[in-house]
Amino acid sequence: MQAFITLAAFLLTLGVLVSFHEFGHFLAARCCGVRVLRFAVGFGKPLFTFRAKNQTEWVLASIPLGGYVKLLDGRDREQVISPQDQASAFDSKKLWQRSLIVAAGPFANFFLAVILFAVIYISGVPQLPAVLDTPPEHSLAAKLDLVQGDRVVGWQDLADGEVSSISGEFEVVRSWNALRWDLLDALTAQSGFALELQSPSGGRFTKAFPSQELPKISPNSDPMQALGIKPTISPTSQWQELQLGPVDAMLYASHRVWLITKVSVRLMAGMFTGKTSIKQLGGPLSIADMAGKSAQVGWQAFFAFLALISISIGLLNLLPFPMLDGGQLLYDAWELVAGKRISISMQERFQKMGFLLLISLSLLALFNDLQRYFSP
């Protein structure tokens, strides 16, 4: 039964996220007057097809591991475009329209993440309070005399990373989960911050964490452990429910997606600079495992998981690699600067290079998965 839930959650995850990504391309193309030939969910043999009045073919295929949108495009040598249809071809549109259509897919993933988080916050979700546990010895929190039972009630970014820049206003910290993302944002950016805390006796005080004292991100150490700020795991009966109205939920969800995106970008960049380990790169087995586990916890955990993966898909597609949306945006940037398009033959060569690069990354992710789940 558990294997069935894992498989079903994995397929649902891919189906929803890829379909929403492709729908972003589809909607932008339609708004820019580009004819969409096909909207396919999955690959392989079609199981269901429907042709709309606008001549778009909607396809549900047998292999539910992705999808695609096929546009009328003069660059496709298999397409024969009549003179009257030329105006509705992708390659005939202005640069800004083509860039909008390409970028709409990744940004649809970010928008979906906001919607998913907002639904969770509107429905109400129990949150672990930001009450601290005893900090590890020699950690920065221990040096600042934080103790078990201290509760973080406020957060403030230090403008110049120094203690002298603390002002009187602190942002309210709603939960440990919110605090954790603020901490990851500060650590990955090496940006100083200050906390407003409440002691077990009820008194309030502040502690500053200057940027020069923050632990560095490295592949061989855990910066959160070195920082020393960790929660006290309390019974769920002591958790507080976070429930917001629609507008506040959208704003809070947007802020959460922005924080996660910033942290993810820095961690991804760290894989190329050596600051973070490539072992963190996960593949289909990791996604399937997390999808199954979150689905068994409940719909809110599964929605949160979908939001996180949706952000990852959006960021992945914005990487400036051929075969990804980011690669096409890089071509558009070249056209903007040089005043001419990259030739089709050159794009085809780049496509081959991009394909090899993506295959290499996929194999590395799969290797990490195999080590993670099957190593003794």
| pLDDT tier, 14 (very low <50, low <70, confident <90, very high otherwise) | confident
Instruction: Tell me: do 150 and 213 sit in the same domain.
Output: yes
* Residue 286 resides in a domain: yes
Which one of 242, 271, 304 terminates a domain? 242
Instruction: Tell me: do 358 and 279 sit in the same domain.
Output: yes
Which region among 24-38, 239-253, 259-273 has the lowest average model confidence (pLDDT)?
A: 259-273
Contact 248/171 with Cβ under 8 angstroms?
no
Instruction: Tell me: do 345 and 361 sit in the same domain.
Output: yes
Which element (helix H / strand E) includes 58? strand 57-71
Q: Give helix then strand counts, H and E, for the chain.
A: 10, 8
Instruction: Tell me: do 154 and 109 sit in the same domain.
Output: no
Which region among 11-15, 33-37, 303-307 has the lowest average model confidence (pLDDT)?
A: 11-15
140-146-150 Cα angle (round to 5): 140
| pLDDT tier, 234 (very low <50, low <70, confident <90, very high otherwise) | confident
Q: How many CA atoms lie within 13 A of 301 on its CB side?
A: 11
Helix, strand, or coil (residue 37):
strand
Contact 228/139 with Cβ under 8 angstroms?
yes
* Residue 62 resides in a domain: no
148-294-120 Cα angle (round to 5): 80
Average pLDDT over residues 64-88: 82
Average pLDDT over residues 202-219: 88
Instruction: Tell me: do 253 and 357 sit in the same domain.
Output: yes
Domain CATH number, residue 169: 2.30.42.10
pLDDT at 368: 67
Which region among 99-103, 163-167, 231-235 has the lowest average model confidence (pLDDT)?
A: 163-167
Which one of 214, 242, 270 terminates a domain? 242
pLDDT at 374: 62
* Residue 29 resides in a domain: no
CA 26 – CA 47 distance, rounded (Å):
21
pLDDT at 141: 92
Instruction: Tell me: do 134 and 119 sit in the same domain.
Output: no
Is pLDDT of 204 > 70?
yes
User: pLDDT, tens digit, for every residue of 43-53?
Assistant: 778 888 888 88
Instruction: Tell me: do 251 and 375 sit in the same domain.
Output: yes
Which region among 7-11, 83-87, 158-162, 222-226 has the lowest average model confidence (pLDDT)?
A: 158-162
Instruction: Tell me: do 228 and 271 sit in the same domain.
Output: no
Which one of 218, 242, 266 terminates a domain? 242
CA 15 – CA 11 distance, rounded (Å):
6
Average pLDDT over residues 188-200: 91
* Residue 86 resides in a domain: no
* Residue 19 resides in a domain: no
* Residue 228 resides in a domain: yes
- 3-state DSSP helix/strand/coil % of the chain, to nearest 5: 55, 15, 30
Pairing relation of β-strands 240-242 and 36-51?
unpaired
Instruction: Tell me: do 272 and 368 sit in the same domain.
Output: yes
CA 251 – CA 176 distance, rounded (Å):
19
Active site residues: 22
Instruction: Specify the residue for token string 């549109």.
Output: 93
pLDDT at 283: 67
* Residue 35 resides in a domain: no
pLDDT at 113: 96
Note every long-range contact of 206-209, with CB atoms under 8 Å and residues 24 or more positions apart, other chains counting. 206/166, 207/144, 207/146, 208/158, 208/163, 208/166, 209/140, 209/144, 209/158
* Residue 56 resides in a domain: no
| pLDDT tier, 357 (very low <50, low <70, confident <90, very high otherwise) | confident
Helix, strand, or coil (residue 51):
strand
Instruction: Tell me: do 182 and 327 sit in the same domain.
Output: no
Q: What percent of the chain has pLDDT over 70?
A: 92
Identity at 118, one-letter amino acid code: A
Largest CA distance in the chain: 79
Instruction: Tell me: do 212 and 159 sit in the same domain.
Output: yes
pLDDT at 269: 83
Which region among 62-76, 87-101, 102-116 has the lowest average model confidence (pLDDT)?
A: 62-76
Q: Which domain holds residue 328?
A: 94-124+247-376
pLDDT at 372: 61
Is pLDDT of 3 > 80?
no
CA 334 – CA 336 distance, rounded (Å):
5
Instruction: Specify the residue for token string 């294997």.
Output: 3
Instruction: Tell me: do 187 and 336 sit in the same domain.
Output: no
Split into its structural domains, the chain has a count of 2
CA 351 – CA 345 distance, rounded (Å):
10
pLDDT at 275: 75
Angle between helix axes 299-318 and 325-338 (nearest 10 degrees) is 40
| pLDDT tier, 31 (very low <50, low <70, confident <90, very high otherwise) | very high
Query: CB atoms < 10 A from the CB of 202, how many?
Result: 7
Is pLDDT of 247 > 70?
yes
